[in-house]
Chains A and B, each alone.
Chain A
């Protein structure tokens, strides 16, 4: 009986857990910076939230529902759930200089390398 109870509770926990969809993203390497492009179709300009915790970059955005309640669904290919992307940074980023914007459903994050990780030309004596 105890195990039965446990499974019920587990099921409830699973139901309450939110599902997220992982957005597509591209990382471009630039001089002393990385440019990250994340596809967030439907997300308005102020709809994305970016947090940097240590070397973990977290991007979240609420999905925008276009379909109205009373519409019948004939076909559904688009993934459901809010957007969430977790990326681990393996280089030092200048946290204060991170710039981001959302345009046409694409989030662009500019991640400048920290001074000590930046590319340096070494003069030969």
Chain B
């Protein structure tokens, strides 16, 4: 048996779930190194967060607003893009998709998104009970 030492996982709350999710779907995310390079991904995205929100940013240059299908289902945020490549030899359609697990601690009703200069920004509010609370000492 061959033992392979893994690096520590990135400090990413979505990481473990995504890894399982993508692996179940045949993705090759088993290794953290595969995670760091986004070359095999359809489009790169960043995930940030503050006390009240998660923010997902995706690079989608030249993509029209109505070509993007954004949905949250079973705690998974998925971004699907249908693009048409036009060239002299005709046009071809392809779709790109990314999914990230956002967990059940979010306020689905409050998710908002905007597309500006080819950059998609999704803002996901955390559920009220998950937000950090400052407790006053009596």
Interface residues, chain A, with chain B CB atoms under 8 Å away: 28-29, 37, 39-45, 47, 64, 66-68, 70-79, 102-106
> Does B55 have its Cβ within 8 Å of any Cβ on chain A?
yes
Closest chain-B Cβ to A79's Cβ sits at a distance in Å of 7
- With both chains docked as a complex, state the minimum distance between the C-beta of B91 and any C-beta of chain A, in angstroms: 13
Contact A78–B61 (Cβ < 8 Å): no
Question: Are A77 and B49 interface neighbours, CB within 8 A?
Answer: no
Does B57 lie within 8 Å of A78, measured CB to CB?
A: yes
Dominant secondary structure at the A interface: loop
**12 A-B residue pairings within 8 Å (CB atoms):** A28-B87, A28-B88, A41-B61, A64-B117, A67-B48, A71-B49, A71-B50, A74-B47, A104-B61, A104-B63, A105-B61, A105-B119
B119 and A66 contact, CB distance less than 8 A: yes
Q: What residues of chain A lie closer than 8 Å to B10, measured between beta carbons?
A: 75
Contact of B50 among A40, A70, A75, A104 (CB under 8 A): A70
B27 within 8 A of A: no
> Which label, helix, strand, loop or mixed, suits the secondary structure of the B interface?
loop
8 Å CB contact of A75 from B12, B63, B88? B12
Also in contact, A74 and B57, with CB within 8 A (given A42-B117, A105-B118): no
Residue B46 at the chain A interface, CB threshold 8 Å:
yes
User: With A41-B117, A74-B13 in contact, is A105–B62 under 8 Å at CB?
Assistant: yes
3 closest cross-chain pairs (CB), A and B? A105-B118, A105-B61, A41-B59
User: In the complex the two chains form, is B117's CB within 8 Å of A75's CB?
Assistant: no
Contact of B61 among A39, A74, A75 (CB under 8 A): A39
Tell me whether B14 is interfacial, beta carbon within 8 Å. Answer: yes
Known: A68-B50, A77-B46, A78-B57. 9 other contacts (CB 8 A): A29-B88, A43-B118, A45-B117, A66-B46, A72-B49, A78-B59, A104-B61, A105-B59, A105-B119
Closest residue of A by beta carbon distance from B120: A41
Determine whether B81 belongs to the interface, using a CB cutoff of 8 Å to chain A. no
CA distance A11 to B60 in the complex (A): 36
